[in-house]
Amino acid sequence: MIISMNLSSRKRKKRWKKTLLFASAAIFFFLLLLVIFAATINLPDIANYNERKIVQSTKIYDRTGKILLYDVHGEEKRTVIPFEEIPKNIKNATIALEDDSFYRHYGFRPLSFIRAVINNTLHGSYAQGGSTITQQVVKNTLLTGEKTVTRKLKEIILAFKLERKYSKDEILNLYLNQIPYGSGTYGIEAASQTFFGKHAKDLTTLEAAYLASTPNAPSYYSPYGKHVSELDARAKFTLKRMNDLGHLTKEEYEAALKDKIKFSPARTQGIIAPHFVIEVRDELNKRFGEDDIATGGFKVITTLDTSLQQKVEEVVKNHAGDIEKSFNAHNEGVVAIDPKTGDILAMMGSRDYFDTDHEGNFNITTAHRQPGSSIKPFVYATAFKEGLTPETTVFDVPTEFNPSCDYNGVASPGGDQNKCYHPQNYDEKFRGPISLREALAQSLNVPSVKVLYLAGLNNALSTIKDFGITSLDEPDRYGLTLVLGGGEVSLLELTSAYGVFANDSVRNSSRYILRVENSSGQAILQSETSPTEVIDKNISRAITDILSDNKARGSEFGTALEFPGKKVSVKTGTTNNYRDAWIVGYTPDIVIGAWAGNNNNTPMEKKIAGFIVAPWWHEIMDYALAYMPPSGDFVQPEPFKEDKPYLRGEWRGGQEFIIDKISGKLATEYTPKETQEKRVVKSVHSELYWIDPQSPQFNNWEASVRRWAQANGYFDETSGAIPTSYDDIHIPENLPKITGFQISPQKNSYSKNDGVVVKILTANKFPLTEIDYYLNDEFAGSAKEKMFDMVMSLNNAVDGENTIKVKIYDSIGNTVEDSTIFNIEN
């Protein structure tokens, strides 16, 4: 053990020697480069603004590249104020957060720089800069935003020269009057006016902490963006740093923490689709960095369809008052996606982005909320993967799903009654046996919980992830409530996931950006689609067929989900506590998802989503259907092939037999299909009786179903219910016979202008009911009179040989056919 420790110690010392040697060499070469650059670089006059770097504005456009959505510097605001008018708290907050040794260093901190170099080397990025306030002044006034070693060396040399020429207060003054704070503001005075509607000298300690927190990433920490909670946390961190460094007393620190922050309303001019634009900027900042986006002069072509976006905003605005008054819902969100590409065509993240009093800048479409029943199609798709079919029947009866409770929902002695779980349907009614098609179309809860159990929770979560929903990763928390919306998803993810069904099983990830060009017009980002088939096509088609089946859905939802003459698949969702109402609908060309509720999670009126969101969602979809001509229809699913009676939908028992309806005896090979009837030996049992009788859920499911069967007159039969004799009516000797054809007038050949009378000669035991006539396999008509003669025109005959074929039917369902030939001459 001692030998091992000594060897380990020697290895560590060896590694440290190598590291120190490398660091020493690096510092030597770095200092050498500094000397070389110091000899060749001249410091521009900071007062001469003509020598500052030229800032080119990045512009964000819609999908046509013609309509400007946002100009990053479209409303640049800058007001320079004297150092004396900048409050002490903003100076201290800035120093505490950005450069706590500002008044002690000479413009550059070697240890911070080396630490940043090591971290960046380890992580393969330029995430950490290690820059002092002096370096940031240089970077923001004299240099470009490129991230190279050469630019960094220039920055350090210029920082040293700047420190020799100007005092610390002058440098800090320059920083606080130049630094970007976001929303087009430069300098503390413009930021104070923009964000708080006051002069900088009037800022509170808490307001100063918030403003000092934004320059590190002005777009990310914008109080009007989607990262307000992150801004709150950074402001609190700033206050703590001020307290730790002695800039705030304990009392001042605690008072600032208790203070309330209130931002001025965001400016409404100069931006279209603000929630969408904020998402685009976030993505651009992640890809290219905030500095490059702020100054690079990029042209960004997005996926937004301006016409559709304007319609969405118009519809929501027109209905907002009624929704609030009738349902106590104070916010709405909408996302529209092209399923063939993943392009986000429209996004409205709140009723009014600029209404900050009601958190309008918060993007509800990317927030995670409980989806209610809108998650059900993915669970049913999983069930189809596991062998169930749309015709499989489940029992919609009162059911207890906790095996520790009895089938009446009562906990076992000593058990926790609160853990018993027996969900209700939205209308608190039970429908008995119902197919999976109808259960999904009608959004019934009890059958859906059963479907989830039969499909498997982990299997369902795997399917959901395949469809692009990544937020559902706590299976133990959801349990069987997952199918009723027990987890949390975003409207954007959910709408995108429905795009898989719309696109015939193929997923395209949602995207905001089509192309980015630099200031020279060169494409530096070209978005490409990556289509991936994530589920069997027939399963996808089956779900689509169910969600577009107005008949299976029933009348409970009215006409708000119907589009006469057009096939649109739709699913709604309402959470049990009525805090969220969802709807997602699609065609092969567009998916539109909508949500209504309250950001603070207060409940709405107790109405289902079909009443809260469906009417105004319908108006948006109606516009989209007219605005975007359809490229094709949904592909119809093939029937699911399954031999087991239960999986095919036979719920009355598992022993089937086929009889002839006329004789009442067992069917034979000669029994016509029309007179065959499939019957079952009645023995009504639960779903698990046929699938998994060893399941811990079996007893409760079975007891509930058996109770229902007895109450509805279904009593068990024995095999004695099966007839013992076979159909003796449909036998070969009882088949009708065609003995001849008579065509009048009789000729060796006919012309196409002729008309003829065809008479069939038969011998039959049972009366004939119909004769069908065909000319060259084309249906020519039926005769149902006693004479059964047919007057036939020869206009459609062909030159040469022609065939007349007949099918005759008797009163017990027998059918035979025969044919004769005649000639046509020119």
> Helix (H, G, I), strand (E, B), or coil: what is residue 7?
helix
End-to-end CA distance of the chain: 112
The Cβ of residue 353 has, within 10 Å, a number of other Cβ atoms equal to 23
Residues ≥6 apart with Cβ < 8 Å to 786: none
b/e map 626-654, b = 16+ CB within 10 Å: eebeeeeebeebeebeeeebbbbbbbbbe
DSSP state of 793: E
Residue 38, Cβ density class (10 Å: 0-12 exposed, 13-18 middle, ≥19 buried): middle
393-396 vs 432-435, strand pairing mode = antiparallel
**Most distant CA pair in the chain: distance in Å?**
123
Task: For residue 373, indicate whether it is catalytic.
Answer: yes
Round to whole Å and give the CA distance between 555 and 637.
Answer: 24
Residue-wise DSSP of 713-725: T-----GGGS-SS
Round to whole Å and give the CA distance between 394 and 396.
Answer: 6
User: Quick check: 93 and 242 in contact, CB under 8 A?
Assistant: yes
Residue-wise DSSP of 39-54: HH-PPPPTT-GGGSPP
Round to whole Å and give the CA distance between 719 and 730.
Answer: 24
User: Quick check: 311 and 592 in contact, CB under 8 A?
Assistant: no
Point out the catalytic residue in the list 98, 155, 207, 619: 98
Round to whole Å and give the CA distance between 467 and 7.
Answer: 53
Distances in Å between the Cα of 468 and the Cα atoms of 192, 494, 499, 703 are 42, 8, 10, 39
Task: For residue 163, indicate whether it is catalytic.
Answer: no
Task: Look at the block and give the residue holding tokens 């009366």.
Answer: 767
Helix (H) or strand (E) segment spanning residue 432: strand 432-435
DSSP state of 349: -
Residue-wise DSSP of 180-231: EEETTEESHHHHHHHHHSS-GGG--HHHHHHHHHSTTSTTTT-TTSS-HHHH
Round to whole Å and give the CA distance between 680 and 645.
Answer: 9
Q: Edge-to-edge strand order for the sheet containing 755-763?
A: 737-744, 755-763, 790-793
Point out the catalytic residue in the list 183, 219, 373, 569: 373
Distances in Å between the Cα of 605 and the Cα atoms of 36, 63, 323, 329, 412 are 73, 39, 10, 8, 36
b/e map 665-692, b = 16+ CB within 10 Å: bbbbebbbeebbeebbbebbbbbbbbbe
Active site residues: 98, 373
